[in-house]
Chains A and B, each alone.
Chain A
Amino acid sequence: MCGVGGIFFRNPDGNVPSGEIAYRILEGIYRRGPDSTGVAVLQPPEKDLLYIGVSCQGKGSGAHVLEKLDELGRVREATDGEGYIRAAITYTGDNTALIEAIDALGPDVRVSSVGRTVEVLKHMGGVENLEKNFHLKNYRGQLVMGLTRFATESRIDFINAQPLSARLTSDLVIMHNGHITNFHYLRYSYEQLGYTFGTANDSEVIAIMLVDEMSKGLSFEEALKKSTTLLDGCFTYIAVTDKCVAVVKDPYAAKPLVVGETDEFVAMSSDCQSLREGVQTDIDVWEPGAGEVALWQL
């Protein structure tokens, strides 16, 4: 099933209770996806600074990851979330080399995302684990978008938890509710083109697809529109980049998602009740239609 939702504020200056609101939204859709919960947040960009998220479920592997990160670059700030490391590192090398070096630490260790602005946090179970390990409620930046996962196609673990990114491209993550029925065909096709997949999750192919279409010259919005024709199955997904947020629905509108907008913010959720709980007002909502792409610039 899965639930998706979150909030962003139109003013990029931040200092808004986005973490707290997103916490309540994700808490409200916990039963749609009790297996794991993850969010994408926006962080202030700085020269040579990377926000990196690493899944490392094995015992003690968090310490190895931090050691290795410090060897490759310089760890400025890090949190060991017991299974998932978030770190801000200064690093001037090539992203591919960084990802390969970390992935090589073991079969349980996998880079989840590398961003200059977009940071991914995830944990098993409900959103309270994001609070416990990463203090989500204290986050006061411009955007928090998340997903509560009900696993269908791949294992319940940190590696397959969402949000997912096309790891080689900074600052593009997706959160997908639904399933992609032509996933094996698409994945094989992209692997033939040289793309590597970091997870066994069918949703990852959406991120790779967007990257591939944009590499062929399409704009982000055009790539999103094209994805509604290339992907088979049911999907409502949220895509977040450093510049915009988008919601994409499949041509049958099989998966719910409502949006509430004010002059200050745009909030969304799979469930109107969770959205209301999140923003704590009787906000009016609308639902994007079948095959629709809704896009907001940040």
Chain B
Amino acid sequence: MAAVETLTIDCEGKPTRAINAAIREAADKGTPQVELLNTQARHNIGVSILKPIHLIYRGHVGYYTVGLCDGVTAEIHGSCGWGVADNLMAGEVVVHGNAATAVAPSIRGGRVVIKGNAGPRAAVSLKKGEIVIGGNAGYMTGFMMQNGRLIICGDSAAGLGDSMYQGTIFVGGKVTELGSGVTAVDPEPGEMDDVLATLERFEIKAPKTLTKYQSDRSLWHFNKHDFAAWKDVL
């Protein structure tokens, strides 16, 4: 197999804007792949890339890596700071380490895979697409998610799926405490096979069992029995 044409960028000493401009230029030219060396936990590397390209990060990355991107695929060989793949429209991001706060906030499509553990508020406001966490998930994971699928192979801290509208969450480990308006349900026929196939594809060891959670719809409508409580609040 012929080697994929790759542009290699050594980030050492280069301003963030210059790095992002070089990636954008490569994507415009149709270069299939960019390899980024010496990322040194720097923030905002590879943001606002709107044409398909594959990014390989060699090392840890900081905040908002692969943020505001459309159609980009990326592999991060290290851990990432907060807001990885922020608002991704389409594409696929695989993090081979751990992730900080707010993994893939508000993504509208594509898939984000964290092989290690994720900090608080992963998948916050998930709108579409899929987020996979190989390890444990932090506090308020899946907060206000609106659609899409979230898979957590390890344990989840308190507040899982709090105030979620729609979408599904699968958890392999134990859940410290469910968030408001979340309930465990039986999976649809074939749904579990699909989840297991996804885990296999990313070489993540599947947990022995997975429990499916979704919104119990109790927060969808105003309940007149809650009126007294609302009166106090408002």
Contact = CB atoms under 8 A, between A and B. Distances in A.
Given A256-B100, A289-B120, A290-B157, A276 B41 contact: yes
Contacts of B147: none
Given A253-B139, A273-B43, A276-B60, A285 B119 contact: no
A272 B119 contact: no
B51 interface: no
Contact of B138 (A276, A282, A290): A290
Looking at chain A's contact residues, the main secondary structure is loop
A258 interface: yes
A287 B43 contact: no
A273 B78 CA distance: 13
Contacts of B117: 286
Contacts of B140: 252, 290
B98 interface: yes
A191 interface: no
Contacts of B129: none
B120 A253 contact: yes
Contacts of A67: none
A284 B43 CA distance: 16
Contact of A282 (B60, B98, B119): B60
Contacts of A290: 120, 138-140, 157-158
Contacts of B157: 289-290
Contacts of B42: 273
A282 B100 contact: no
B165 interface: no
A291 B159 CA distance: 13
A282 B78 contact: yes
Most chain A CB neighbours (cut-off 10 Å) among B98, B139, B140: B139
Nearest to B97: A284
Contacts of A258: 100
A144 B91 CA distance: 43
A286 B78 CA distance: 12
A291 B157 CA distance: 11
A276 B158 contact: no
A72 B81 CA distance: 51
B139 A287 contact: no
Given A253-B120, A273-B62, A287 B40 contact: no
Contacts of B98: 284-286
A271 B42 CA distance: 10
A256 B101 contact: yes
B79 interface: yes
Interface string B40-63: 111100000000000000011010
B101 A272 contact: no
B120 A272 contact: no
Contacts of A286: 98, 117
Interface in B116-136: 117, 119-121
Given A256-B100, A284-B60, A272 B41 contact: yes
A253 B101 contact: yes
Given A284-B79, A289-B120, A253 B138 contact: yes
A273 B79 CA distance: 12
A275 to B, nearest CB: 8
B82 interface: yes
Point out which of A271, A275, A290 has the most chain B C-beta atoms below 10 A from its C-beta: A290
A289 B119 contact: yes
Given A282-B40, A284-B97, 13 more contacts: A253-B121, A271-B62, A272-B60, A272-B79, A272-B81, A273-B40, A276-B41, A282-B41, A282-B78, A284-B60, A290-B140, A290-B158, A291-B139
18 contacts: A252-B139, A253-B119, A253-B120, A253-B139, A272-B62, A272-B81, A272-B100, A273-B40, A273-B41, A275-B41, A276-B41, A282-B59, A282-B60, A284-B98, A287-B138, A289-B138, A290-B157, A291-B139
